[in-house]
Amino acid sequence: MLRHTALALILSVSPAFADEIWVSNEKDDTISVIDIETMEVVRTIDVGERPRGITFSQDYSVLYVCASDSDTVQVIDPETGEVLHELPSGEDPEQFVLHPDDRHLYIANEDDAITTVVDTQTRKVVAQIDVGIEPEGMAVSPDGEIAITTSETTNMAHWIDTKTQELFANTLVDSRPRHAEFVREGSELWVSAEIGGTITVFDRETQAEKAKINFEVEGVHPDRVQPVGFELTEGDTHAFVALGPANHVAVVNAETYEVEDYILVGRRVWHMDFNADRSLLFTTNGVSGDVTVIDVAKREPLKSIKVGRYPRGAAFRPTN
C-alpha cells in the first residue's frame, strides 16, 4: 500500500524536463532553445530585431532580451515564449547585466555612448550615464556596489557607483574592449580587448592594472586572436575565453593568469554559458551559425549544434 502511494506520487510529478541553453540569433531575430540532455534545438522563439544580449531573472521566471534594432529590451515568458512587455532601454541596447537586487538592468546603448539603468518593476529609466563611444561589455560586482561599462572605440572600462549612478573612475584597456566580469568574489575586474588581443585584470579597490593575459594560438596570426566573451568555472579557478576568428576557446588559470589550453570550436566564437554543475560549456559561433559543446573537465569539444544565423548571446535555464 505504501509502495503504491509512493509510485502514485512519483507519477503525479510533472515529467523531468532537461535543462536548457538559450541562444540569441542576431541575424534571424530568434532565440534557439537547446535541450542539454539531447543536445538538440527543441524550440525556436521569435523575438525583436537583432537580438544580442540575453539574461534570465534570478528565479528564471522571465528572460530579458536586448532587441538592438527594435531599440527595446523585451521581457519574455520562458514557458510560452511570449513577449510579456517591453522595457525602455535607450537606443540600440547591445549587452546588459542584471544587478544582484534582481531588479535593475544596466544596459549598454551602443549607438548613443550611454549606459541606461532601468527598473524592471516600475519599467522606468532610473538613470542614463554618459560613457565612451560604442559601449558594450557590462558587469556588476557581486555586492552590487559597482557596475562596469566598457566602450569599444574609447577603449575604456567605466566604473559606475550604483548608489549615485555616476562614474567614479575610467581606466584604459587595450583596443576594442568587448566583455567584462568581476572575478574572485568581486576583488578583480577582467576586461577582454578584441583588437588588442588581451585581457586586462584590474584590482577592484585601486582600479589599478594588476595583470595582462596574452594569447597565442599555433598557426593563427596574432592579429586574428581576438578575445571577446569569457566565463569562469566553479570557484573561479579557470576562465574559458572565446577568441573570435581564431576559432578557439582558451582556458586560463585564474591564479597564475597563464593560458593552459586551447580548444577548437566553430567560426568566430562570441559568448558562452555553462550547464548547472559547470561540467559542460556552450559557445556561440557567429560565422558558422552553431554552438559548440565543450567537456569542461576534459577540455575537449563534444558536439556542434546548428542554431540560427549569427548566434551571439547564451544563457542557461534550469527546468527542475
Partner 1 sequence: MNVVRNAALVALTCIMFAGNPGHAQEMSIAWLKVAEDLPPTLSNLDPVPDNLGAAGAETALADNATTGRFMGQDWSLQTFTVALGDDPSDTARQALAKTRFVIVDAPADALLSIADLPEAQGAVLMNAGSEDATLRAEACRANVLHTLPSVAMRTDALAQLLVKKKWDDLVMIAGGHARDQAFAASVEASFAKFGLTLAGRKEWRFDADMRRNAAQEVPLFTQDFGRYDALIVADEYHDFGRYVLYNTWEPRPIVGSEGLTAEAWGKAVEQWGAAQLQSRFFDEHARSMEPRDYAAWAAMRALGEAVTRTKSNDPAVLLDYMLGDDFELAGFKGRPLTFRTWNGQLRQPIPLLHPRALVANAPLEGFLHQRTELDTLGLDAPESACTAFN
User: Backbone dihedral region of 65: left (phi > 0), alpha (psi from -120 to 50 degrees) or beta?
Assistant: beta
Residues forming the site for partner 1 (CB under 8 A)? 110-111, 113, 132-134, 152-156, 158, 170, 172, 174-176, 194-197, 221, 223-224, 245
CB of residue 170 vs partner 1: minimum separation in angstroms? 4
Candidates 183, 134, 185, 180; CA nearest to 157 is 180
Order of strands, sheet of 248-253, starting from the edge strand that comes earlier in the sequence: 230-232, 238-242, 248-253, 259-264
CB of residue 282 vs partner 1: minimum separation in angstroms? 24
CB of residue 60 vs partner 1: minimum separation in angstroms? 31
Candidates 275, 196, 210, 289; CA nearest to 240 is 275
CB of residue 55 vs partner 1: minimum separation in angstroms? 22
In the complex with partner 1, the residue whose CB is nearer, 194 or 273, is 194
Please name the residue that has the C-alpha cell 550611454: 114
Candidates 262, 273, 253, 244; CA nearest to 178 is 244
Cross-strand partners of 109 = 93, 114
